[in-house]
C-alpha cells in the first residue's frame, strides 16, 4: 500500500482476509458450504482503501498471510462511474495493483474464465438480458458473461470472491428474486451456480444481510463492523458540519445565504493559504457547491450566478462547472458554465464552484468541497444528506491540529426552518442511515487563544504528560519498528536507522541462538527441522487377519531443499520486514568457504523463527527500540511539518502498552454557542468568554475554582484528539482512555502550576477502573502538578480525593466498582 493504513483499516483488512480464506476453505471442503461476508463501513471510513488492502493481501500476501496465486475478484456495482472511481482510487492507493490487474468489463470482453490475480469491474447492466455480453453463440462472442462466471466457479470457486459494492442496492423485497445481483449470488438453474463467497460492502448493510437470509438459508454470514468512534478519531473526516438557515418567520434568503457562502469559501481559502505557508505545503483550493432543484428555471440559475460572481472578485466562467444530468454546458445571464464529470472535479484546481442537482451525491469524492448552499427543501433531505456525506472528507486526509476551523464544513440551507434543521442534527447524531459520523452545529462560535490569560499557559498545557492508548494490535512490533526506521531516515532524523535496525535485531537473534545452545535445545530443534518423521502402516490385502500385519513403523528421512525452503517462507512471515532474510545473510556470512550451505542457513533461521519464545524476544526488543527512539527524537519529530508528523501517529498507537505523546493546543476552533459563558478559559470568543454546557457537579466545581483568586486560567479537556490530555486505564478487553474534565492553572509560591480536577461519577460501571488509571497517572507525574483530585457529590457534599497522597492511591488500588462511593466517604476531604 502507498498509504499508511489507519488502525481500524488495518484491523478490518486482517479480519476480512481471515474470513475470506475461511470461506474459501469451507467451499473447497464441501461445495455446499456457501458464505457471505458483510462489511459495515461508515461513510468516509475509506472502504476503497480497506478493499485495496484486502485484495493486495489476497494476491501478494503480507506478514500475517501467505499469497494466494489463484485468487480472483469480481467487483460488482450498479454504476459505471462508481466502478471507474473505485478503480482509480485503487490505483492511487496500491503499490501492487497496476492497470493490468484492474480490468473493466466492456463490450469486447470474451473470456472462458476470469484470470487469477485480477480484479474485474462489472456494472450489472452488462448482465441484463438485452445486453450482448449476457449471450453467447453469436458471431460476436464465444462466451457470455454468465458462462465466464460459471466456468470460474466450477474450476476455481474456492478462490473466487464476488464483491458487491454499495451492497444495500439490488436487494429488494421478496417479490424481486430475479435482480441481477440476486442471480449472481444465488445462481440460476442451468446457467450459473451460486457464488461461493460473496463480500458485501455498505454503510447500511442490513438490507444485504436480510436479503442473503431470504435467498439462501444455508449460506453462512459473517458481519464485520468498522466502529464509528474509530472513524471519528481517524482524521479522515471533518470534525463538524455547521448549518446556517434563516431564523423563524424569515423568507427568501437564498441569494443572501449564497453570498454568505462565497464569503465563507474565500475565508477558507485564506486560512488554507496561511496554513500552507506555515507548513511549506501547496495550498488547498476550497470548492463551493450549489445544489439546485431538479428543474431550475433559467431565471433562478441566472440569479444564483449573479450572486456568486458579484461577491467573488476575479471569478471567471471557467472556474464554475455543472454536473447536471444533461451533460452539456449551460448559458445563462451572460455566463457559459461547462459540464464536468463529478469524479474529475477534485483534481482540477481551477474549479471553484460546482452547480449540481442530485447526481453528484454518489460516485464522487471531493475533499476540496467545503461549503454547500442547497436550494432544495426538506422533502429532499436524502439528497442533501448524501451530498453532505460526500463533502466531509478532509482535504489532506488528516485533522489540522493548529487551526481547527479547517476541520469544518459549512452548509447553508435557505429552504429549511428551525425544526427541519433540528431533524438533520438528530439524524446525523444517531447515524440513522448512512450519514457520516460528524458533529452538526447550528449556532457556531469561533474561539481563539484568550489574550486575557497569561501567554505562558499555552506552552504549559502543551507540556503536560498525555498518552497514546494502544489500539487493537494487529501488526507486529517488528513491522512497527521498520516503519519508524523508514520514517526517521526519510525525514533525516536518523540517517542510518534502517541499518541500525538490521544490526540490532540480528544481535537479538544471535543472542537467542546462544541461549538455546546453552540450554542444549538448539541442536535438537535443528535436527527436527532437517528431518521429516514418517509412519509406515500396512493395509489388509493378502493378510489373513489384522494380527498378521506388521506393526506401524516410524522412521525419519531428511527433508529435501524444497521443504526446507517452505519452512524458511514460514520463518519470513514469523520474522517479517526482512528480519529473517537479514539473519539468513548473517549466518551465510559467518560460514567459511568449506561450510558454505545456504539451505543449512535457512534451516537455522527457521529453528529460531518457529520458536515462540524467540519471536517474542525479538518483538519485545523491537518495541523497546521504538519506545527509545520516540522518546529520544521526540523534539526533532515535533519540529516536522504536520504532514510528516501525522505519519508517526500510527506508529505511536501500535504500542502494546500506553506511551507518552504530545498535546497540541489549537489556535482556533469552532464550537456550539450553547450553555453558560465562562471566563479565563484558554480559548475564548472575542469577549473573552467560553461557552460550555456543564452539568451537576461540573458546574459547582468550576464555580468554586473560578472563585479562587489564585486561578489564572483553565482548560476544558476535550474528549479525544491531539488537543486532549489522555490518561490510560485498563478496560475489560484492552486499554482505554479517560479524559479528566478540568485542567486548572494557579499562582503558587513556585510560580504558575497546573492542576487536574475531575468530577468523577461513582455510578458508572467503569468508575473504579478509571479512578485506578488516574491514580496510576498521579503516581508517575504528581511532581508536575499542584493538585490532582477526583471530586464526587455524596449526600449533598462535594468530596475530593487527593491523588497525590500515597494512602489514597493505595486505597484506590484495592477498590471495587461498588465501593467507589464508600472510598470517597472514607478518604475524601471537603472540596472547597
pLDDT, tens digit (0-9, with 9 covering 90-100), for 581-638: 999 999 999 887 777 788 889 999 999 999 999 999 999 999 999 999 999 998 899 8
Whether 235-442 and 7-228 are alike in CATH topology: the answer is: yes
Question: Cell match 488509571: residue?
Answer: 773
pTM strictly above 0.85 = no
- DSSP H helical segments within 520-597, as ranges? 522-530, 561-574, 579-590
Question: Cell match 460459471: residue?
Answer: 150
Q: Across residues 194-223, what is the average pLDDT? A: 82
Q: Are the CB atoms for 685 and 675 separated by under 8 Å?
A: no
| Angle of the 522-530 helix axis to the 561-574 helix axis, nearest 10 | 130
pLDDT for residue 177 = 41
- DSSP H helical segments within 30-97, as ranges? 47-60, 80-93
Q: Which three cell numbers stand for residue 304?
A: 444564483
**Is 11 strand, coil or helix?**
helix
Q: Is 820 left (phi over 0), alpha (psi -120 to 50) or beta?
A: alpha
Q: What is the pLDDT of residues 98-130, one digit of tens each?
A: 999 999 999 889 999 999 999 999 998 888 888
- Which of 432, 4, 368, 19 has the alpha carbon at shortest distance from 203? 432
Quote the CA–CA distance of 292 and 288 in Å, as a whole number: 13
| Angle of the 254-279 helix axis to the 298-311 helix axis, nearest 10 | 40
Quote the CA–CA distance of 549 and 537 in Å, as a whole number: 9
pLDDT band at 209 (very low <50, low <70, confident <90, very high): confident
Backbone angles phi, psi at 625, to 5 degrees: -70, -35
Quote the CA–CA distance of 274 and 267 in Å, as a whole number: 11
Quote the CA–CA distance of 166 and 124 in Å, as a whole number: 13
| Lowest pLDDT segment from 17-31, 435-449, 547-561 | 547-561
Show contacts of 637-643: CB within 8 Å, 24+ apart. 637/491, 637/493, 638/662, 640/491, 641/279, 641/280, 641/281, 642/279, 642/398, 642/400, 642/401, 642/402, 643/279, 643/281, 643/396, 643/398
pLDDT for residue 138 = 65
Q: Does the domain spanning 7-228 belong to CATH 3.40.50.300?
A: yes
CA atoms within 13 A on the CB side of 89: 20
Quote the CA–CA distance of 755 and 701 in Å, as a whole number: 13
Q: Across residues 766-770, what is the average pLDDT? A: 89
Q: What is the pLDDT of residues 686-701, one digit of tens each?
A: 999 999 988 888 899 9
Q: Which CATH number fits domain 235-442: 2.60.120, 3.30.360, 3.40.50, 3.40.190?
A: 3.40.50
pLDDT for residue 534 = 56
- Which of 483, 476, 477, 508 has the alpha carbon at shortest distance from 498? 483
Q: Structural domain boundaries of the chain?
A: 7-228, 235-442, 477-653, 660-830
For residue 220, give the H/E element and its range.
strand 220-225
Tell whether the model's pLDDT for residue 525 goes beyond 90. no
Q: Across residues 504-530, what is the average pLDDT? A: 92
Question: Cell match 535496525: residue?
Answer: 501
Tell whether the model's pLDDT for residue 363 goes beyond 60. no
Q: Which residues of 235-273 are buried (b: 16+ CB within 10 A; e: fewer)?
A: bbbbbbbbbbbbeeeeeebbbebbbbbbebbbebbebbe
Question: Angle at CA 170, nearest 5°, toward 90 and 32?
Answer: 85
Q: What is the pLDDT of residues 154-183, one digit of tens each?
A: 999 999 999 998 766 655 543 434 688 888
Q: Which three cell numbers stand for residue 791?
A: 471530586
Q: Are the CB atoms for 344 and 329 separated by under 8 Å?
A: no
Q: Which three cell numbers stand for residue 806?
A: 500515597
Question: Cell match 496500491: residue?
Answer: 94
pLDDT band at 392 (very low <50, low <70, confident <90, very high): confident
**Is 575 strand, coil or helix?**
coil
**Mean of the per-residue pLDDT values of the chain:** 87
Share of the chain above pLDDT 90, in %: 54
Q: Are the CB atoms for 714 and 745 separated by under 8 Å?
A: yes
Amino acid at each position: 500500500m502507498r498509504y499508511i493504513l489507519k488502525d481500524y483499516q488495518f484491523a478490518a483488512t486482517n479480519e476480512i482476509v481471515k474470513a475470506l480464506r475461511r470461506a474459501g476453505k469451507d467451499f473447497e471442503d464441501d461445495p455446499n458450504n456457501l458464505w457471505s461476508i458483510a462489511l459495515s463501513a461508515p461513510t468516509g471510513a475509506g472502504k476503497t482503501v480497506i478493499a485495496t488492502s484486502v485484495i493486495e493481501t489476497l494476491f501478494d500476501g503480507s506478514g500475517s498471510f501467505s499469497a494466494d496465486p489463484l485468487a480472483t475478484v469480481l467487483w460488482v456495482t450498479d454504476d459505471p462511474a462508481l466502478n471507474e472511481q473505485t478503480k482509480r482510487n485503487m490505483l492511487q492507493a496500491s503499490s501492487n495493483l497496476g492497470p493490468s490487474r484492474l480490468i473493466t468489463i466492456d463490450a469486447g470482453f470474451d473470456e472462458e474464465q476470469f484470470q487469477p490475480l485480477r480484479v474485474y469491474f462489472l456494472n450489472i447492466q452488462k448482465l441484463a438480458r438485452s445486453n450482448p455480453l449476457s449471450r453467447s453463440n453469436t458471431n460476436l462472442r464465444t462466451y457470455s458473461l454468465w458462462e465466464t462466471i460459471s466456468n470460474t466457479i466450477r474450476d476455481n470457486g474456492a478462490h473466487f470472491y464476488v464483491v458487491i459494492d454499495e451492497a444495500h442496492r439490488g436487494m429488494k423485497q421478496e417479490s424481486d428474486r430475479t435482480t441481477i445481483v440476486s442471480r449472481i449470488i444465488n445462481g440460476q438453474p442451468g446457467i450459473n451456480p451460486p457464488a461461493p463467497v460473496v463480500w458485501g460492502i455498505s454503510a447500511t448493510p442490513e438490507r444485504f444481510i436480510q436479503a442473503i437470509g431470504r435467498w439462501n438459508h444455508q449460506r453462512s454470514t459473517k458481519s464485520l463492523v468498522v466502529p464509528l468512534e474509530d472513524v471519528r478519531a481517524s482524521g479522515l473526516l471533518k470534525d463538524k458540519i455547521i448549518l446556517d438557515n434563516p431564523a423563524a418567520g424569515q423568507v427568501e434568503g437564498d441569494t443572501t445565504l449564497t453570498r454568505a457562502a462565497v464569503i465563507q469559501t474565500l475565508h477558507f481559502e485564506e486560512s488554507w493559504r496561511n496554513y500552507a505557508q506555515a507548513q511549506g505545503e501547496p495550498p488547498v483550493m476550497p470548492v463551493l457547491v450549489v445544489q439546485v432543484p431538479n428543474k431550475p428555471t433559467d431565471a433562478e440559475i441566472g440569479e444564483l450566478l449573479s450572486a456568486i460572481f458579484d461577491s467573488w472578485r476575479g471569478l471567471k466562467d471557467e472556474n464554475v462547472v455543472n454536473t447536471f444530468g444533461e451533460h452539456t454546458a449551460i448559458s445563462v445571464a451572460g455566463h457559459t458554465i461547462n459540464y464536468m464529470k463529478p469524479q474529475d472535479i477534485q483534481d482540477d484546481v481551477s474549479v471553484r464552484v460546482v452547480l449540481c442537482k442530485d447526481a453528484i451525491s454518489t460516485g464522487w469524492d471531493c475533499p476540496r468541497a467545503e461549503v454547500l448552499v442547497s436550494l432544495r427543501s426538506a422533502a429532499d433531505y436524502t439528497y442533501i444528506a448524501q451530498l453532505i456525506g460526500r463533502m466531509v472528507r478532509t482535504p489532506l486526509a488528516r485533522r489540522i491540529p493548529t487551526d481547527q476551523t479547517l476541520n469544518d464544513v459549512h452548509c447553508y440551507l435557505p429552504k429549511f426552518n428551525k425544526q427541519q434543521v433540528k431533524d438533520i442534527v438528530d439524524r446525523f447524531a444517531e447515524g440513522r442511515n448512512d450519514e457520516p459520523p460528524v458533529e452538526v452545529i447550528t449556532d457556531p462560535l469561533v474561539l481563539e487563544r484568550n489574550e486575557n490569560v497569561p501567554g505562558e499557559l499555552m506552552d504549559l498545557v502543551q507540556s503536560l504528560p498525555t498518552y497514546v492508548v494502544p489500539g487493537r494490535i494487529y501488526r507486529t512490533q517488528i513491522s512497527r519498528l521498520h516503519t519508524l526506521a523508514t520514517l526517521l531516515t526519510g525525514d533525516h532524523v536518523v540517517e542510518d536507522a534502517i541499518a541500525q535496525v538490521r544490526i540490532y535485531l540480528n544481535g537479538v537473534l544471535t543472542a537467542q541462538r546462544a541461549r538455546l545452545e546453552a540450554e542444549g535445545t538448539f541442536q535438537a530443534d535443528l535436527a527436527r527441522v532437517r528431518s521429516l518423521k514418517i509412519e509406515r502402516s500396512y493395509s489388509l490385502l493378502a493378510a489373513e487377519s489384522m494380527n498378521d500385519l506388521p506393526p506401524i513403523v516410524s522412521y525419519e528421512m531428511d527433508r529435501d531443499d524444497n521443504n526446507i525452503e517452505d519452512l524458511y517462507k514460514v520463518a519470513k512471515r514469523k520474522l517479517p520486514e526482512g528480519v529473517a532474510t537479514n539473519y539468513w545473510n548473517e549466518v551465510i556470512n559467518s560460514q567459511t568457504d568449506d561450510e558454505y550451505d545456504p539451505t543449512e542457513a535457512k534451516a537455522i533461521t527457521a529453528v529460531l523463527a518457529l520458536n515462540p519464545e524467540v519471536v517474542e524476544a525479538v518483538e519485545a526488543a523491537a518495541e523497546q527500540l521504538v519506545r527509545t527512539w520516540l522518546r529520544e527524537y521526540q523534539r526533532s519529530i515535533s519540529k516536522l511539518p504536520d504532514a510528516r508528523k501525522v505519519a508517526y501517529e500510527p506508529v505511536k498507537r501500535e504500542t502494546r502498552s500506553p506511551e507518552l505523546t504530545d498535546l497540541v493546543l489549537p489556535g482556533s476552533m469552532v464550537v456550539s454557542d450553547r450553555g453558560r459563558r465562562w471566563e479565563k478559559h484558554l480559548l475564548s470568543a472575542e469577549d473573552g468568554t467560553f461557552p460550555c454546557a456543564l452539568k451537576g457537579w461540573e458546574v459547582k466545581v468550576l464555580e468554586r475554582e473560578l472563585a479562587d483568586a489564585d486561578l489564572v486560567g483553565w482548560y476544558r479537556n476535550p474528549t479525544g484528539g491531539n488537543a486532549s490530555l489522555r490518561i490510560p486505564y485498563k478496560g475489560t478487553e484492552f486499554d482505554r482512555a479517560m479524559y479528566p474534565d478540568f485542567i486548572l492553572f494557579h499562582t503558587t509560591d513556585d510560580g504558575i502550576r497546573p492542576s487536574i480536577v475531575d468530577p468523577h461519577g461513582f455510578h458508572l460501571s467503569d468508575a473504579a477502573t478509571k479512578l485506578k488509571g488516574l491514580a496510576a497517572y498521579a503516581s508517575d507525574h504528581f511532581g508536575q502538578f499542584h493538585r490532582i483530585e477526583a471530586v464526587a457529590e455524596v449526600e449533598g457534599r462535594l468530596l475530593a480525593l487527593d491523588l497525590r497522597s500515597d494512602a489514597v492511591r493505595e486505597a484506590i488500588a484495592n477498590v471495587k466498582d461498588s465501593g467507589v462511593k464508600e472510598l470517597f466517604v472514607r478518604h475524601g476531604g471537603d472540596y472547597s
